[in-house]
Amino acid sequence: MWSVQPLAIYCKIPLMASSDETSTDGPDASLRVDFCGLDFASPLVLLSGCVGFGEEYTRVKGFSNRDVGAVCLKGTTLEPRLGNPPHRVYETPAGMLNAIGLQNPGARHVVEKILPQLDFSETRFIANLSGSTVEEYAEVARIFDDSPIDAMEINISCPNVKEGGVAFGNDPDMSARVVAACRKVTDKPLITKLSPNQTDIAENARRCLEAGSDAFAVINTLMGMAIDAESREAIIGNNQGGLSGPAIKPVALLKVHQVYQVCRDHGVPIIGQGGVASAEDAIEFLIAGASAVGVGTALFYDPLLCPKINAGIENYLARHGLARVSQLTGTLRLNSPPVRQPGCGV
Amino acid sequence: MSTRSTIHLVEATVLEHHHLDGEQHILRVQADDIAADARPGSFAHITCDPCLPMRRPISILRADRRQGWVEFLYKVVGEGTRRLAERGEGELLSILGPIGRPFSFDTARRRPLLIGGGVGMPPMIFLAETMRGEKDLQPFVILGSEVPFPFTARPSTVMVPGMPEGVIAAMPLLEDRGIASRLASTRGYAGCFEGYVTDLARHWLDALDEEARGQVEVFACGPHPMLEAVARLARDYNLPCQVSMEEFMACGVGGCAGCVVEVQTETGPAMKRVCVDGPVFEAGEVFPF
């Protein structure tokens, strides 16, 4: 069933190295990032949905949460959710589709049973808030507010069950309402995870910023589908799923650049994410305007990727005479004059 | 409970790669850390080709701790395994493993019944060899295939009760270790039982006296319909049964919850991850009937 076509782009992804090449000292001081007042040891953030509730990857010899600035925990709703039926994942050219369906044990269980197991000296842990109503998001935020969690990421890509199932994140109005509701119940840093499946991501960011978002994660997955031509069936149990991996990197870079135009003057940081599989990818996101960089799908290729990305960024900083990684943020040199508007034959 | 055992990420050298009928392949790699920790039922997550970066879960056929090699038997089912089959001796493969909750057996049940279908054969062979180390255990292995078996069957010299006349074909590797085995197929292969593995298993179970039947524990790996039939068989005879499940998999270490199977628990239905909560589950959890 794993039938995909090869693309030359994959071949840029390095094979993993043996575990004795992984660092044990943690990232170099030049990689430290102040993110909403949180001290990130590296700009790298492990993305929600890829690393369970923070400890799953520690099964892999050589893996350490100390190699990353923060770990985003799995999407959490007020009540436990079973999630979607299989198949939940499927490889596609230069990426994969997933439709997990927010399987999680509920916010109270996470706070009471899982957070006490995490070692907060290793890295910063970020909760991922999900819900079906504005009220549910706020209640989940309130539960996490009363916990040691370092920050909260609002997953506004969930469907709004009270208003026709349209994803909150696809509508700036609904997005801002979710952010405002969460803002009311917590002073912890709020990171809004923006969806690429909308007309104007910059406008959405502007509205969420006004509603109290402290930071943004850009982007969430792009919605997609896989079909088995022989059986004419949708392969993913949920029929549709989110596309991630190197295939979406160009989209993500543009969206980070667009959101950065809104954030720059307000000092609001961005976690750039979407297809990061190498130090070069991470650096491109920083240049586009990100202060931190998310790693997700590429961990499935190489669980020991993060120390290698850290080393690659360190090397880049040294080569370019930069003392700190934050000096890279938003240093994109656009062509002048600006390109014409999309849709005008460019 | 998920397993917390250590998973190694290694660049393993291909030592041998044998190509068999029915697009089946036996791959042997040098992977000392994985060989040391591999257990029957555990699997490895393999990058089949650097240009196809998502890994493919492949169950472990055998492992030699002393020499540090691991063997896989797999069938080409898609692009990933097709590319894996192209890897030659001396090439390096990125392998993550061993992964998963292995089979666990009760040595008080002296007559384990091991049923492997198609690419579900490898863990059964590994399990049978492991059981052979327990001198009181007398495992009986039934292997089924709808394509030519990935070995040349030979007439068995080990007597097995209840076998219909002419059902004499056995797997040489098991035979050489004194482990009883028989083969089943609907394809009419010589010496094989013509029918399903579960039908042959019934012949054997019916030939045992009540005391001997009470010593049976069932282990199975194979296609979903076969596992369901094995679970039903175990329920009919009131025997404990473990089954090894498979599902499309992304991370392979419990991080993404992409590879779930629905199970029944005391508190209701739950989604368990095949990679680290399984791949081995109690049959009654997966097939509650």
pLDDT of B68 strictly over 80: yes
Percent of chain A with pLDDT over 90: 86
As a whole number, mean pLDDT of residues A120-142 equals 97
Taking 50 as the threshold, does the pLDDT of residue A22 lie above it? no
Confidence of residue A19 (pLDDT cuts 50, 70, 90): very low
Region A261-282 average pLDDT: 98
Q: Is A50 touching B (CB cutoff 8 A)?
A: yes
A160-164, B110-114, B167-171, B182-186: least confidently modelled range: A160-164
Distance CA A155, CA B85 (A): 41
Instruction: Kindly state the DSSP code that residue B13 receives in the 8-state scheme.
Output: E
* Chain A residues close to B6, C-beta within 8 Å: 59-61
Q: pLDDT band at residue A346, thresholds of 50, 70 and 90?
A: very low
Burial of B256 (0-12, 13-18, 19+ CB in 10 A): buried
- Tell me what ipTM this predicted complex has: 0.93
Domains of chain B are 4-99 (2.40.30.10), 113-244 (3.40.50.80)
pLDDT over 80 (residue A15): no
Contact between B54 and A2 using a beta-carbon 8 Å cutoff: yes
The predicted-structure confidence for A229-247, as pLDDT tens digits, reads as follows: 999 999 999 999 999 999 9
pLDDT digits (tens, 9 = 90+) for B21-56: 889 999 999 999 999 999 999 999 999 999 999 999
Mean pLDDT of B73-99: 96
A277 and A246 in contact (C-beta within 8 Å)? yes
The DSSP secondary structure of B40-92, one letter per residue, reads TT-EEEE-SBTTB-S-EEEEEEEEETTTTEEEEEEE--SHHHHHHTT--TT-E
Distance (Å, whole) CA A60 – CA A306: 13
CA distance B34 to chain A (A): 11
The closest of B126, B83, B223, B266 to A10, measured between CA atoms, is: B83
Residue of B83, B247, B248, B274 to mutate when probing chain A, most A C-beta within 10 A: B248
Q: Is the Cβ of A75 closer than 8 Å to some Cβ of chain B?
A: no
- Yes or no, beta carbons of B33 and A98 under 8 Å apart: no
CA B165 to each of CA A40, B141, B200: distance values in angstroms, whole numbers, following the listed order: 71, 18, 12
Active site residue A158: yes
Look at A38-47, A162-171, B41-50, B174-183 and tell me which has the smallest mean pLDDT. A162-171
Min Cα distance B239 → chain A (Å) is 29
The SS3 of residue B282 is strand
A20 has a pLDDT exceeding 60? no
**In this complex, do B79 and A83 lie within 8 Å of one another by their Cβ atoms?**
no
In the block, tokens 């083969």 appear at B183
Mean per-residue pLDDT, A281-286: 98
Statement: residue A26 has pLDDT above 90:
no
pLDDT digits (tens, 9 = 90+) for B196-254: 999 999 999 999 999 999 999 999 999 999 999 999 999 999 999 999 999 999 999 99
Residue B29 CA: distances (Å) to CA of B13, B26, B41, B44, B102: 5, 10, 18, 12, 20
Measured in angstroms, the CA of B142 and the nearest CA of chain A are apart by 27
Under the banding of pLDDT at 50, 70 and 90, the label for residue A261 is very high
The percentage of residues in chain B with a pLDDT greater than 90, rounded to a whole number, is 94
Mean pLDDT of A96-125: 97
**Coil, strand or helix: which one is B36?**
helix
**Whole-number Å distance between alpha carbons of A301 and B231:** 35
- Cα A144 from Cα A153, distance rounded (Å): 11
Closest CB from A51, A60, A98 relative to B258: A98
pLDDT of A185 strictly over 70: yes
C-alpha torsion sign, points A56, A57, A60, A66: negative
Question: Helices in B147-196 by DSSP H: which ranges?
Answer: 172-176
- Residue A5's pLDDT is 40
Residue A163: its pLDDT value, please? 76
**Burial zone of B82 (CB within 10 Å; 0-12 exposed, 13-18 middle, 19+ buried):** middle
**Which tens digits make up the pLDDT trace of B104-150?**
999 999 999 999 999 899 999 999 999 998 888 999 999 999 999 99
**Residue A93 confidence (pLDDT) above 90:** yes
Q: Higher confidence at residue A15 or residue A172?
A: A172
Q: Give percent of chain A with pLDDT exceeding 70.
A: 90
Active-site residue identified among A36, A50, A72, A158: A158
pLDDT tens per residue across span A43-83: 999 999 999 999 999 999 999 999 999 999 999 999 999 99
pTM above 0.90, yes or no: yes
A270 pLDDT above the threshold of 60: yes
Q: What is the pLDDT of residue A18?
A: 41
Does residue A24 carry a pLDDT above 70? no
Q: Look over chain A and give the mean of its residue pLDDT values, rounded to a whole number.
A: 91
Q: Where are the alpha helices (DSSP H) in chain B?
A: 32-37, 79-84, 121-132, 172-176, 197-207, 210-213, 224-236, 283-286
For residues B98 and B29, give the distance between their C-alpha atoms in angstroms, rounded to a whole number: 13
Percent of chain B exceeding pLDDT 70 equals 99
Mean pLDDT computed over A294-307:
98
Q: Which of B8, B50, B256 sits opposite A19 (nearest CB)?
A: B8
Average pLDDT over residues A285-311: 98
For residues B178-195, give the mean pLDDT.
Answer: 96
Please state at what angle helix A134-145 crosses helix A172-185, rounded to 10 degrees: 30
Report the 10 Å Cβ neighbour count for B199. Answer: 16
Q: Does B78 touch chain A (CB under 8 A)?
A: yes
User: Is 90 exceeded by the pLDDT of residue A308?
Assistant: yes
Q: What is the mean pLDDT of chain B?
A: 95
On the question of pLDDT at A162 being above 90, the answer is no
Residue in B4, B9, B53 closest to A304 by CB:
B9
Arithmetic mean of pLDDT, A88-94: 96
Residue A2 forms contact with B (CB below 8 Å): yes
Position B46 scores a pLDDT of 98
Residue B77, min C-alpha distance to chain A (Å): 6
A9: pLDDT confidence band, cut at 50, 70 and 90? very low
End-to-end CA separation in angstroms for chain B: 22
pLDDT score for A107: 98
Burial track B111-133 (b if 16+ CB lie within 10 A, e otherwise): bbbbbbbbbbbbbbbbbbbbbee
- Give the pLDDT mean for B168-172: 96
